[in-house]
């Protein structure tokens, strides 16, 4: 087996074995603490521009299958693990992780001390790096490129090109417009399962087109990159807010909504990526274990108290995990209530979104 390496921007070098596709790839190095769900991680558009290190030491033991992907392809720049299983054992398995990485063109690295790498990222913060296979050693120009690498135009790179309509599962009760900032398939599934016809729209769709589309509510999806970069989308959201339509935002959708109402966002030291983050819903006075994947957060102190309030907080670090608009049927969460695998206790938020639609319908009668 060929050797492979990870070179970090601080000069640290990790040596392991090449897995997946051979080559070299520059990315922002982040870590995910989930014990399962590597296929979902690989296909989550929120990881666009990033190389992911899985902290759980055994990856690939249940293979990959045609059902668990969160989007049409893999978006990661590279994939790092302690040990990749050479055996895929699961009744749903269609292929091995190694074969999937090769097919998707993902440069992989196994056999390194992922605990050490994770400690470096926790102490120093996420940093750029380059994963490369033996024979693809970077020259000085490539190393300089890695050090100055910045994820740009992330939403433009992952959003859908043309509109897609997903029918409701069973009787149709609602029509929902879902803005694709990097949507995960499970968001669509959760809505369809509740009787929604879901229209997936390009992230930059004219808000007047949405308002004229006869939709009952609007979903704002998850997605990658710096939320403040998306100035056009933020302006579009201001028009949607003023319309009074029910809106539910998840992850990047939460951050963009916060920016649209005048709050600020900031880059976190190493972000939240895993399936065991405790979040308190202040309205319910209850704590939930949640799945998360984000490197930016809304600064709670910048939320205008005359417009909205912080409704959800992270119990590990006190960061803002959700906001509730005071005068509109709008709420958002930073975490993923649609997650699979992971805790599904917060799926009630989809029901709350539909209850807001029902309330608006009733008020219009």
**Which residues are known catalytic residues?**
251, 336, 338
Distances (CA, A) of 59 to 169, 240, 330: 33, 42, 39
DSSP helix/strand/coil, 191: helix
Asked whether 53 and 104 are in contact (CB, 8 A), the reply is: no
Asked whether 50 and 77 are in contact (CB, 8 A), the reply is: yes
Q: How many CB atoms within 10 Å of residue 268? A: 15
Q: Where are the beta strands (DSSP E) in 88-190?
A: 107-110, 127-133, 164-166, 174-180
C-alpha 358/C-alpha 291 separation (Å) is: 28
C-alpha 299/C-alpha 267 separation (Å) is: 10
What string of H, E and C letters represents the secondary structure of 309-358? EEEEEECCCCCEEEEEECCCCEEEECCCCCCCCCCCHHHHHHHHHHHHHH
Asked whether 98 and 19 are in contact (CB, 8 A), the reply is: yes
Tokens of 341: 């695998």
**DSSP structure class, residue 23:** S
C-alpha 168/C-alpha 158 separation (Å) is: 24
Asked whether 45 and 224 are in contact (CB, 8 A), the reply is: yes
DSSP helix/strand/coil, 360: helix
Report which of 138, 180, 177 is spatially closest to residue 48, judged by C-alpha positions. Answer: 180
Provide the CA 357 distance to its chain's centre, in angstroms: 25
Rg (CA), the chain: 21
Tokens of 302: 């910048």
Q: How many CB atoms within 10 Å of residue 123? A: 9
For 181, phi and psi rounded to 5 degrees? -95, 0
């Amino acid at each position: 087996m060929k050797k492979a390496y990870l070179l970090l921007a601080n000069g640290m070098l990790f040596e392991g074995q090449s897995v997946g596709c051979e080559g070299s790839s520059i990315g922002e190095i982040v870590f995910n603490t989930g014990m399962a769900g590597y296929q979902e991680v690989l296909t989550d558009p929120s990881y666009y521009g990033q190389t992911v290190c899985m902290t759980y030491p055994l990856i690939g033991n249940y293979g990959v299958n045609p059902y668990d992907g969160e989007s049409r392809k893999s978006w990661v720049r590279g994939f790092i693990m302690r040990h990749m299983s050479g055996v895929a054992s699961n009744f749903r398995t269609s292929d091995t992780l190694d074969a999937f990485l090769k097919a998707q063109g993902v440069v992989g690295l196994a056999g390194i001390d992922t605990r050490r790498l994770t400690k470096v990222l926790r102490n120093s913060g996420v940093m750029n790096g380059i994963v490369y296979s033996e024979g693809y050693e970077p020259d000085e120009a490539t190393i300089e490129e890695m050090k100055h690498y910045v994820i740009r135009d992330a939403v433009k790179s992952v959003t859908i090109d043309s509109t897609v309509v997903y029918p409701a599962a069973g009787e149709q009760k609602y029509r929902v417009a879902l803005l694709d900032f990097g949507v995960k398939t499970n968001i669509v599934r959760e809505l369809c399962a509740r009787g929604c016809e879901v229209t997936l729209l390009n992230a930059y769709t004219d808000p007047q087109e949405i308002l004229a589309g006869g939709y009952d509510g609007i979903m704002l999806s998850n997605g990658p990159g710096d939320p403040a970069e998306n100035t056009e989308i933020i302006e579009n959201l201001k028009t949607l807010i003023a319309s009074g339509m029910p809106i539910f935002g998840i992850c990047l959708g939460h951050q963009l909504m916060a920016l649209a109402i005048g709050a600020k966002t900031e880059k976190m030291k190493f972000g939240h990526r895993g399936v065991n983050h405790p979040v308190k819903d202040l309205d319910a006075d209850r704590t939930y274990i949640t799945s998360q994947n984000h490197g930016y957060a809304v600064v709670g102190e910048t939320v205008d108290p005359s417009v909205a309030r912080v409704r959800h907080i992270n119990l590990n670090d006190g960061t803002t995990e959700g906001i509730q608009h005071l005068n509109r049927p709008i709420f958002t969460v930073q975490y993923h209530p649609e997650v699979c695998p992971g805790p599904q206790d917060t799926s009630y938020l989809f029901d709350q979104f539909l209850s807001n639609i029902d309330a608006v319908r009733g008020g219009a009668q």
